[in-house]
Structure 1
Amino acid sequence: MTTATTRPGDRQVSSVFVGILAVTAVTGWATWTGYAEQPGIAVFLFVTAAWIVSLCLHEYAHARTALHSGDISVGAKGYLTLNPLKYTHALLSIVLPVVFVIMGGIGLPGGAVFIERNRIRGRWRHSLISAAGPLTNVLFAAVCTAPFWLDALDGVPADFRFALAFLALLQVTAAILNFLPVPGLDGYGVIEPWLSYKVKRQVEPFAPFGLLFVFAVLWLPAVNEAFFDVVDAVMRALDVDMFSQYCGDAQYRFWQESPAICSLGS
């Protein structure tokens, strides 16, 4: 494997990311302790900040894997600093994903780091670079759901449990959507190196519209139902109950009236 060579400053964690981590920690503490007068605000800020952290880690995973596969240009581009402002499409990778979470409670895949693929040799390396991002979402989901599948919820405040369940739901939806073999998404990036040149040339013009196509199709009731059936199956396998997911979603939208049943569970 190619030896990664970057300047020391290229790998220094940015103050922007540290600030986002600080917001995550403070609002997580407020959610856990019930310090905030309105728990929904704390849940909203905690989940949003943690979601942005996961987006940064998603892009970092792409860049770090590319670095060790031969593309040393990712360091100079600032991708290794975890600074979301360094992404080539901050709108697609940070702003829109957050907006979609607020609007619909679904993890929108991002795609922002520009990898110089001509520097990388070997189809497996190309596939791994594409897979690294959504695999980060998988790992993030495993961490968020650990108290559930480890049966370690005793002593965990209800509001914090709800927030973890909703955050895990976002990670699961993001991972599933990202792994779809649709041009423009990471799933297609995994299989693209193994396709013929002719097929890749035919598919290439559709790549910019792949994400839009996926969300248009998700509006179809049958497709939407099938997608969330898969999501529900994954969440059940992780032992995350529907009640916690529902209340986490409800509390996240603190500007709407939260169901009384969620207050009883707190």
Structure 2
Amino acid sequence: MGGLLFYDWNTLPFVILALIISFTVHEWAHAYSAFKLGDNTAYKFGRVSLNPMVHLDLFGTIMLLLAGFGWAKPVPVNRGNFKRPRLYGIIVTAAGPLSNLIMAFISLFVLVLCQKYGWLDGMSKGSGDAIIQFLNKMISINITLFLFNLIPIPPLDGYRIIQDLVDFRYTEAVQKFEQWASVIFLLVVFVGPLRRVTLDPYLGLGNDILRFFLKWIAKILGI
């Protein structure tokens, strides 16, 4: 921890850069997939863009630095423009977390390549260490964002997927859950003992994802 910050001061520049990239690509993936599937709402708002300024939410970014969780600006989607609203809605919602998973894999792959082939050996120690720090933050942050966004609590992506998956007969029951969701969310995040037995073990699944990725990278590179 760095005082009030969730992250250490020494790694803060790499955290901020990784967060900007990760949040931007996550929201762009929502917007781009919606646009390609027939809804131009996000396009009209300028969200089909990799410009961080159109995606980042100031308070959401500050909360991530302070508490270890945060958010970007929600991408506006009009499911009425989709030929298959529920299916396409799931695809658009899942595109965000999947983009984080892909970025984590790519970052890990590049890190392994650097270590295997000594791509950083010719650099100064400071420059090489900076690249490694950045790649490590890209890996950890994107895996965390992938898992965190799949939690079925509004306004997270996992809840939107559940909404599209659930039978219409249970829609009202699901909507009633929303009034308690923010309370549950805050309790899980900020109450230490509750977080340690719920959120932390769940996010710990990131280690299993890392091992799975490393297994496949080793097969690809023949190591």
Determine the C-alpha separation between the residues in 1 that align with 2:27 and 2:150: 15
Q: CA deviation at 1:212?
A: 5.9
Secondary structure class of the residue paired with 1:81: coil
Aligned to 1:137: 100
Q: Deviations over 1:155-178 (max 9, x none)?
A: 432342133112211110110011
Work out whether residues 184 and 208 of structure 1, in 8 Å CA contact, stay in contact via their aligned partners in 2.
Answer: no
1:146 maps to 2:109: yes
Q: 1:228 to 1:66 in 2, by over 3 A?
A: closer
Q: Deviations over 1:190-217 (max 9, x none)?
A: 2322312232222225447646633522
| Percent of matched pairs sharing the same residue | 22
Q: CA deviation at 1:55?
A: 0.9
1:97 maps to 2:65: no
The alignment's C-alpha RMSD in Å is 2.9
Q: 1:231 to 1:107 in 2, by over 3 A?
A: farther
One-letter identity of the residue aligned with 1:75: Y
Q: Deviations over 1:136-189 (max 9, x none)?
A: 111111121113444537343234213311221111011001122333211222
Work out whether residues 169 and 235 of structure 1, in 8 Å CA contact, stay in contact via their aligned partners in 2.
Answer: no
Structural mapping, 1:75-90, within 5 Å: 75-87=43-55
Determine the C-alpha separation between the residues in 2 that align with 1:97 and 1:181: 21
One-letter identity of the residue aligned with 2:136: A
One-letter identity of the residue aligned with 1:147: V
Where does structure 1 lack aligned partners over 5 or more consecutive residues? 1-39, 240-266
Q: 1:98 to 1:57 in 2, by over 3 A?
A: farther
1:194 maps to 2:162: no
Of 184, 190, 208 in structure 1, the residue corresponding to residue 155 of structure 2 is 184
Work out whether residues 59 and 112 of structure 1, in 8 Å CA contact, stay in contact via their aligned partners in 2.
Answer: yes
Aligned to 1:174: 145
Secondary structure class of the residue paired with 2:204: helix
Where does structure 2 lack aligned partners over 5 or more consecutive residues? 1-8, 121-127, 215-223
TM-score (norm 2): 0.72
Q: 1:155 to 1:205 in 2, by over 3 A?
A: same
Work out whether residues 149 and 157 of structure 2, in 8 Å CA contact, stay in contact via their aligned partners in 1.
Answer: yes
Aligned to 1:54: 22
Q: Please, which moves more after superposition, 158-167 or 111-120?
A: 158-167
Work out whether residues 18 and 137 of structure 2, in 8 Å CA contact, stay in contact via their aligned partners in 1.
Answer: no
